[in-house]
Structure 1
């Protein structure tokens, strides 16, 4: 399909997309071609000797041209390092025979990791089913090799969570290698190969003496069910577990009733509307920080840094209004326990609590923003997974989370008074964000975020975008685009304050 035009060789954009397995988007009016490879993209424009490869500019020897309404891409572009790394395909062109030789490679990576109370999870993404081999390296090392696998870039991450010291993804001559170095807190591992998307998952268990006692609220490590377990046995166990849960709930209600009757419990403060003569107090909470980096993007972006930058911008915007008195739970890269964050808001007598985060998921295709408010039951499985990830920082805090049942009930009753306000603010913030950014609106959701549990005011948690999605990550790194997100949150807060008549006579 190669064409010779003005002594140079070109390939029709349509043929290039078919050969390399990309989706083609042709914008004839603008003279722009977009090639999409599993969420990553290349943009070329006619008569421009530059291409955008995943947002990065690269120079071309020849520009893309248009003839008879069709786009033609210079053959040399398909042999550049930038294209080879993105598409995972080696290409060679023979001008004598006009043959383009294409060698499809297997793409491996990136690597993502999550720290949970009972285990640390490593996820290695694959573009298709591949053979892989595992080999122990001494007492605390593990190698996973993928023959014929190639990576976009080498990466090493020092985890240091007591279970995993580091992991290192490297490229060797004819294979990719993932090396894990475990710490003294590790107690074996489990390796799974999963589909949709294709990935290798390694769960490194935390040793039993380091897992919290059963009385705490943390989630321990659970082994997957044995393959030998029959469906009848599974059904029987499910029935028994349901029966046991009902019995435990009945006993708990009885204990709470007895505790309230016999024990003096400090009641949380009642719902407080802002004093009309005073200023409206808002606590902004940049998620994670210090040793808790949060999610990690495909380009190595740390969630804690994006959260802090966006929170500072939001505070600066709110402080332009005289009616607001605004504070941050942290103004530097420091680690603050979850319970301390809501305590800071309560001690400040805050009227609103806004916690700012970035999202992440196993699937790189997931994209968009969402706003949460507190609920003991998650609105969907994704919300439950996210709450589990955000709450996993409890493992770093080094304290048992044991709540007095009577006090817990009274706090739960107090929180219900804020639920309607929190839901309303989440809805207003979602609406204002959708007007300002071109991210997918994933809506208002509910989940049991520990950071929101102790807040004695309407509280929401904003997930700005997905660091696991390349395009979302690029937008979060952009100050200009992050400003739009911040303006959306700011507008949502203003709308909520107006709904509550808090701004009456002040603007």
Structure 2
């Protein structure tokens, strides 16, 4: 009888135990080169990275305030703020929804791996990270150099502007299906975008990421006429550099 009671108590304790967790490591690669290891904590199927180790290898630093449960991750002047027991992060002073971004174990702060590979991270810091669960490797990709795309409708034309962090070469072409495409060599987008225009000249615009290049695909509308592509120059210090280009789609 006593053995049965003890067995029952043991089973009850096992059922009441916290979700299974384990501590491990991931490998960090920068441009394919080994940079170091990052400690991890796996909890309920989600993987978290040691915040201090991750920040150091990625090229940033953290400011951890354990009393308030606040952590600031800063990389090259850009910052993201995490709070304990919060389902949001503050990216460059703007709040974004993100479930369970941070946990604390043994006095250490751990940040969700899902955040590091999310569009929020790429938007905040200007480069992408990718995780390979088969190899346990977290890899830094090339820096984002195409930040956004926008359009401006005018009476005689539609202007489509691509904003870049550096001058890039491109090639424009128009296919038999009338799609107008601009290939940007070496372009890395923060995230793919799809713009719905519908102004009579342009139906929509897609910004796509492909291998070693980005592509802008313009879907013409019934009044689509001649299209031309040119650079817009901005003054930086003492030199003029092309930091964006415009596709002007005229009406016939």
Q: TM-score range by the shorter chain?
A: 0.5 to 0.7
**1:198 corresponding residue in structure 2:** 243
**1:12 corresponding residue in structure 2:** 52
Distance in 2 of aligned mates of 1:5 and 1:104: 24
Query: Computing the radius of gyration over CA atoms, which structure comes out larger, 1 or 2?
Result: 1
Which of residues 179, 195, 216 is equivalent to 1:156? 195
CA 62–206 in structure 1, closer or farther in 2 if over 3 Å, else same: closer
Q: CA RMSD in A?
A: 4.4
> Retained in 2: the 8 A contact 1:134–1:145?
yes
Work out whether 1:128 is the aligned partner of 2:173. no
> Retained in 2: the 8 A contact 1:133–1:144?
yes
> Retained in 2: the 8 A contact 1:107–1:127?
yes
Q: Which aligned pairs between 1:196-235 and structure 2 lie closer than 5 A? A: 198-207=243-252
Work out whether 1:189 is the aligned partner of 2:234. no
Secondary structure of the residue aligned to 2:151 is strand
Return the structure number with greater strand share: 2
Work out whether 1:52 is the aligned partner of 2:89. yes
Distance in 1 of aligned mates of 2:76 and 2:158: 27
Q: Which aligned pairs between 1:140-151 and structure 2 lie closer than 5 A? A: 140-148=178-186, 149-151=188-190
Distance in 2 of aligned mates of 1:61 and 1:184: 48
> Retained in 1: the 8 A contact 2:117–2:128?
no
Question: What is the Cα deviation at residue 128 of structure 1?
Answer: 3.3
Secondary structure of the residue aligned to 1:159 is coil
Question: What is the Cα deviation at residue 159 of structure 1?
Answer: 2.8
Question: What is the Cα deviation at residue 28 of structure 1?
Answer: 7.2
> Retained in 2: the 8 A contact 1:91–1:100?
yes
TM-score (norm 2): 0.56
Matched pairs, number: 198
Return the structure number with greater helix share: 1
Question: What is the Cα deviation at residue 64 of structure 1?
Answer: 5.0
> Retained in 2: the 8 A contact 1:43–1:51?
no
Q: Deviations over 1:403-459 (max 9, x none)?
A: xxxxxxxxxxxxxxxxxxxxxxxxxxxxxxxxxxxxxxxxxxxxxxxxxxxxxxxxx
> Retained in 1: the 8 A contact 2:202–2:218?
yes
Which of residues 186, 204, 220 is equivalent to 1:166? 204
Distance in 2 of aligned mates of 1:18 and 1:35: 13
Question: What is the Cα deviation at residue 190 of structure 1?
Answer: 3.6
> Retained in 2: the 8 A contact 1:42–1:51?
no
Distance in 2 of aligned mates of 1:186 and 1:34: 50
Work out whether 1:108 is the aligned partner of 2:146. yes
Distance in 2 of aligned mates of 1:103 and 1:146: 17
Distance in 1 of aligned mates of 2:180 and 2:77: 31
CA 5–204 in structure 1, closer or farther in 2 if over 3 Å, else same: closer
**1:490 corresponding residue in structure 2:** none
Which of residues 129, 132, 139 is equivalent to 1:90? 129
Distance in 2 of aligned mates of 1:91 and 1:187: 40
Work out whether 1:137 is the aligned partner of 2:175. yes
Q: Deviations over 1:30-87 (max 9, x none)?
A: 4423447899863312x436442653322247515695xxx74437255443445534
Question: What is the Cα deviation at residue 189 of structure 1?
Answer: 2.0
Secondary structure of the residue aligned to 1:129 is coil
Q: Which runs of 5+ in 2 are unaligned?
A: 1-35, 43-47, 237-241
TM-score (norm 1): 0.31
CA 187–115 in structure 1, closer or farther in 2 if over 3 Å, else same: same
